Chain A
């Protein structure tokens, strides 16, 4: 087991005992107090450098998708889970594995099938002949990055088991709590095309994903490069470019990113717009507004800024919020997707005008 400053990464694949102690990062974060000092520009640039190194490393494995990679990294830094929704073969799993590899963390992949049981995900207690006691045998969720492939193929019971871990960050078996390692990131993938024999994720559970991303097809240049066999770096060959201390430093720095009052107002009026919109049955929840603010801080940091802008809000509103909207029956039938409605809202709610704020 390697020690990296304040954070311990566990790798169950190396047959190490799973610790149930609470990682130090939590106590560390708490020591900062409610009013962290404002981030300076220099610090922001320094943190952005980590981002750049990470995304360059991952970019060598996932070609031409730097914006999606950046968003995925933002989710990782915020410890928010990602729902990757796309057709097969565009590199969903590759992206997930690359993230895990580049951050020097452990990763496990679970292929969801209809006969997958909850205990296959969380782990089971096993009778130890030597000690004559039941020992908890941790499941695949006990790793830093969990790739839940085709999550909608499993039964709702199994889905619920995973989603519970995502929220609680712990597994309770036989009254014993088993805490999953930190950072903990679930990357669930979903195939929107083949819907036969699948179980749609309930809306309440979609709310637990910080981001829903879609990779999309690679650009023509990237696809040509892939075809020519100029093979990308295999995910196994990726070198960890950032250690746990640096990760902790980043989330610490993100806490200190300045968010102007006008930005809060803007997010609030966007949220109200989703709640009052005719085509939306259920707008975004307060959890969603908190989530977007969390993502905003990290997103600004990823660009080397120590303040966030309305552009950040616009960039994040779609991946953070679109999957949480429940359309009114009428508009769902007429073929409008939540993303369309979200785009509509973004196009109509006035942004904070920088000239007015800067003037006054």
Chain B
């Protein structure tokens, strides 16, 4: 069936003023309004010159681009009004390159709009459905092929083929195995252990308890991190072992994750958010709240690092600390619970 077979005679494929397909009323096209360039040869010449000017400016822009590219040093900075300081070479070549392209486009569109015909043309749609004979022919071709192959009758072939086809992708999937190691217990372990010194992040100096004032915050890592990173050649351990130290008045500590895990009000917590693993850095002294800048999970460090707001479901793991004989902070042990985001096997 062809919905769109036309009645000849009507330019719109309509009958009695009604669209054959939808039945809506069809109105004749509006009369074409002449443009100035259609009537006035002067206007047409003017439009021609405008288009040619744009193309000429595009050509000149390419020359200006080459000169800027060669002549303006890549180190020179200029002040662009409103936008601030910028590299002069970058701005100049960008502007001239941009103009060279833009002017071609604007010129071409101007040409089309002013000088090329703007009389709308009617074109018929062709049917998107084949006729019944053609459709039946396809069906019979398919039936012929199906019968010739014996796919339907020869069950043994069909079933073994389906089995083989179902299994052949397995090697492709199995061969992805060596993309990475099995998870094992990796996500539960950090390099923290009993007696390991806490050192400042970036400068790697041991931290004296007396150097942290009340209200202070220090980013810290284990002292063996740098050596392990060099051996491993990656930042994996840093992503788990980073901690923050805060010091508060011991009287303000409501609870901790273990008895005497602080040292004189200095508390050590994992820095890795238990939501999706962003390193947390925003600490509010007054409330002892730690806020994750990624999704705003908020933890109360004076109260066992419990979640007080946001999408994180787990408290921030605490690291038990003490000092060595010289007064430098050390870990009492490793973390007692996995740090970072939750995972299926975590429990």
A and B bind: no
B interface residue numbers (CB < 8 A to A): none
A interface residue numbers (CB < 8 A to B): none
